[in-house]
Amino acid sequence: MSLHLFDSASRSVREFHPVRHGTASIYVCGPTPQGPPHIGHMRGALNYDVLRRWLTHQGSAVTLVRNVTDIDDKILTKAAANDREWWEWSALYEREFDSAYATLGVLPASIAPRATGHVTQMIDMIQQLVDGGHAYAAAGDVYFAVRSYADYGALSGQKLDEVQQGESAAAGKRDPRDFTLWKGARAGEPSWPTPWGPGRPGWHLECSAMALAYLGGEFDVHGGGLDLVFPHHENELAQSRAAGYGFARYWMHNGIVGMAGEKMSKSLSNVVSIPEMVRKVRAQELRYYLVAPHYRSTIEYSLPALEESVRAYQRIESFVQKVAARTGSVEPGAVGPEFTAAMDDDLGTPAALAAVHTTVRAGFTAMDAADDAGARSSAATVRAQLDVLGLDPPDWASSSTVDNSAAAALEALVGELLEERQQARKARDFSAADSIRDRLLAAGITIEDTPDGPQWTFKDS
């Protein structure tokens, strides 16, 4: 396998060698369902979906675990503020995340474990850490002793003297840098019995226990957002290695989505929800927008950038549809060497999509030359490439009636303008014909005069 991935732990691009040949195991930090999902949440899910699809394309049997943190301070706070049970609040938004994943074509996880279903595994892990001298109980809480793990800070580059966990002060904590594994029971909060008293799990502990439960002591890839490197992933790595496990071989982190230079988050009130977005554009167009940049880059959301992605995707879609209409349906073929090289180079989706657009241009050229075989060959390549990216137009053929109606309306409007242009050309009113062409071009539509009459496509972005 020639796939290379940027490993955050080594800060280098490394050749991918799975724990077990022919398989790939991936753990992705999933949602804390405290509110509706936005495109920042979906960006990470889509990136690891593309990784999964590429590994599958290359012949690997992929297991992808994406957890649900269904018990958390924020969930408890918001549920109480809305006079709802914490489990009801969490379940409500977990369903919204599932709906958003499905809307954007994210393949279902192999399993999506909930934190509350794995308390037994968490207690076992805490016991291992206490027995090994890496954790201690104090006043009903249990803490990980950061100084007991010599490599603490290696993932994030944090210096031990500068570490701040972001936790509130606690009387029983021996060192302010220690982090909570288990929170002692508080009045009105859910709790589970343990040898150290009733309480609930700490955030970092949950993911380690669930990853180990489903993927074993060593697995291939741990993924999540760049904002999780510290403290969450640093603490996961420390407690897992301290307990004696190899844990993840590769750490992948996707960039964030921002607006006006700030990370998109609920606290900033700049959330762009998935239902709102798919009222603006079709789901496949939004997916294109979120997977087109390199997964490690930051996306600064703007409507013009989204509209540019819409035009780019529609041009690809138009090509696939026109070849099928002209020559019959085309099955996916081979993805081609340029696309393969791009994807093997740390999931280089910008270069991969450049290969897609190059193939589309070659296909349109073949259509202009009445080379149906060439057009079909290009379409077969494009379909295979788009399948890897989760963007193959036939897979999205069941788009909503609203979307189909919009497409039909666009086709009708452009068709009327093309007919007007043809009549103007017949009357040798070339000024009027050119004016129509320029109006369409300004709207992102190009006209190609062919032996079969004028054909319109979306302008290259």
pLDDT per residue as tens digits for the range 231-283: 999 999 999 999 999 999 999 999 999 986 777 776 654 568 899 899 999 99
Which of 254, 286, 317 is at the close of a domain? 254
Could you tell me which residue, 442 or 409, shows the higher pLDDT? 442
Note the pLDDT of residue 269.
45
**What residues have CB less than 8 Å from 402, skipping those under 6 apart?**
none
Helix/strand/coil for 51: helix
Note the pLDDT of residue 366.
97
Residue 219 is encoded by which pair of tokens?
Answer: 């697995």
Whether the pLDDT of residue 402 is over 50: the answer is: no
Note the pLDDT of residue 407.
56
Least confident stretch, 1-15, 52-66, 388-402? 388-402
pLDDT category at 172 given cuts 50, 70, 90 is confident
Residues in a beta bridge with 223? 28, 252
Which of 226, 254, 282 is at the close of a domain? 254
Q: What percent of the chain has pLDDT over 90?
A: 81
Quick check: is 375 in a domain?
A: no
Whether the pLDDT of residue 215 is over 80: the answer is: yes
Note the pLDDT of residue 404.
44
Quick check: is 203 in a domain?
A: yes
Could you tell me which residue, 385 or 417, shows the higher pLDDT? 385
Helix/strand/coil for 268: helix
Alpha carbon distance 11, 64 (integer Å): 23
Helix/strand/coil for 309: helix
pLDDT per residue as tens digits for the range 306-341: 999 999 999 999 999 999 999 999 999 999 999 999
Torsion of CA 304, 308, 309, 315, to 10 degrees: 160
Residue 288 buriedness (CB in 10 A; 0-12 / 13-18 / 19+) = buried
Instruction: Tell me what the mean pLDDT of segment 109-124 comes to.
Output: 98
Mean pLDDT across the chain, nearest whole number? 92
pLDDT category at 443 given cuts 50, 70, 90 is confident
pLDDT per residue as tens digits for the range 357-378: 999 999 999 999 999 999 999 9
Helix (H) or strand (E) holding 28: strand 23-28
Per-residue DSSP letters for 356-385? HHHHHHHHHHHHHTT-HHHHHHHHHHHHHH
Residue 392 buriedness (CB in 10 A; 0-12 / 13-18 / 19+) = buried
Quick check: is 204 in a domain?
A: yes
Residue 2 is encoded by which pair of tokens?
Answer: 């020639």
**Angle in degrees, CA 200, 89, 184, rounded to 5:** 15
Whether the pLDDT of residue 409 is over 70: the answer is: no
Quick check: is 413 in a domain?
A: yes
Could you tell me which residue, 442 or 300, shows the higher pLDDT? 300
Residues in a beta bridge with 251? 222
Instruction: Tell me what the mean pLDDT of segment 387-403 comes to.
Output: 79
For residue 143, give its domain range: 4-254
Alpha carbon distance 231, 224 (integer Å): 12
pLDDT category at 400 given cuts 50, 70, 90 is very low
Quick check: is 115 in a domain?
A: yes
| Dmax (CA) of the chain | 91
Alpha carbon distance 116, 67 (integer Å): 11
Quick check: is 140 in a domain?
A: yes
Quick check: is 263 in a domain?
A: no
Which of 254, 276, 299 is at the close of a domain? 254
The CATH number given to whatever domain includes residue 138 is 3.40.50.620
Residues in a beta bridge with 458? 445
Residue 122 is encoded by which pair of tokens?
Answer: 């968490």
Residue 92 is encoded by which pair of tokens?
Answer: 């409500």
Could you tell me which residue, 40 or 413, shows the higher pLDDT? 40
Cis bond before residue 36 (omega within 30° of 0):
no
Residue 204 is encoded by which pair of tokens?
Answer: 């970092």
172, 195, 222: which is closest to 125 by C-alpha? 195
Residues in the chain: 461
**Angle in degrees, CA 411, 414, 419, rounded to 5:** 120
Domain count, the chain: 2
Note the pLDDT of residue 185.
95
Quick check: is 450 in a domain?
A: yes
pTM: 0.86
